[in-house]
Amino acid sequence: MIEKIVFATGNVGKIKEIQAILADLDLEVVSMKEAGVSVDIEENGSTYEENALIKTRAVAACLEKMGQREGTVVMADDSGLEIDYLNREPGVYSARYMGEDTSYRIKNANLISRLEGVEDDRRTARFVCAIAAVLPDGRELTSRGVIEGRIGYEEKGSNGFGYDPIFYVPEFGCTTAELNAEEKNRVSHRGNALQEMKRQLQRIME
């Protein structure tokens, strides 16, 4: 019996988004902090899926030790930006690119300068997100979502976070930093991956 989802993130914005998307599963969704879990996790996997699984397994092991694993699905995500011209960099290293503490102003300016002189059709890029879940019985699930776009020529927009101001989506004629949260969630890599994970959980809970 599944009663609760513990999501391995400290990011309040992500928790709200996840609660909204998973609302019709009728399960309590809490952050790992709210579940009383504090653990330092080394994300040393070579794919988004591996990193997401590393997080879910670490949090599941903590909950097990606390005697709170029963009825709980542990979920985590891992995401990144892939720029085709840069051989899909920064990819799984997106958060660590140029150093974890370097501002995104600097990271974004650096990426734009590395694409100097590169024409529109070779500036293709995508945000990728993998979600992993470990069920109460130990079964593991993964899902993946993608949003395709291009690297812009300058930063635009102030919504979102990270690489959003340089991620231009031709379909919308703007960057993901120019979409509001609701619009972005509807089309984003994370939104798509969560929807797919929801479908997998619904099938299991039927």
- Give the active site residues: 78
Binder to ligand IMP among 31, 56, 72, 94 (CB under 6 A)? 94
Phi-psi region at 63: left, alpha or beta (left = phi > 0; alpha = psi -120 to 50): alpha
**Is residue 93 a contact point for ligand IMP (CB under 6 A)?**
no
Closest CA to 162 of 88, 49, 81: 81
Nearer to ligand IMP, 69 or 167 (CB): 167
d(CA 192, CA 87): 24
CA dihedral sign of residues 16, 179, 128, 194? positive
Which residue sits closest to ligand IMP, CB atoms considered?
A: 162
Nearer to ligand IMP, 103 or 202 (CB): 103
Ranges within 112-141 binding ligand IMP (CB under 6 A): 127
Contact partners, residue 26, CB within 8 Å, separation at least 6: none
**Is residue 197 a contact point for ligand IMP (CB under 6 A)?**
no
Binder to ligand IMP among 35, 37, 53, 78 (CB under 6 A)? 78
**Is residue 81 a contact point for ligand IMP (CB under 6 A)?**
yes
CA dihedral sign of residues 97, 101, 107, 108? positive
Cβ atoms 88, 107 nearer than 8 A: no
d(CA 192, CA 8): 18
Total binding residues toward ligand IMP, as defined by CB under 6 A: 15
| Site track for ligand IMP across 7-46, x = CB under 6 A | ----------------------------------------
> Residue 196 is inside which H or E element, if any?
helix 189-205
**Is residue 205 a contact point for ligand IMP (CB under 6 A)?**
no
Binder to ligand IMP among 163, 168, 185, 197 (CB under 6 A)? 163
**Is residue 152 a contact point for ligand IMP (CB under 6 A)?**
no
Site for ligand IMP, rule CB under 6 A: 77-81, 94-95, 127, 160-164, 176, 188
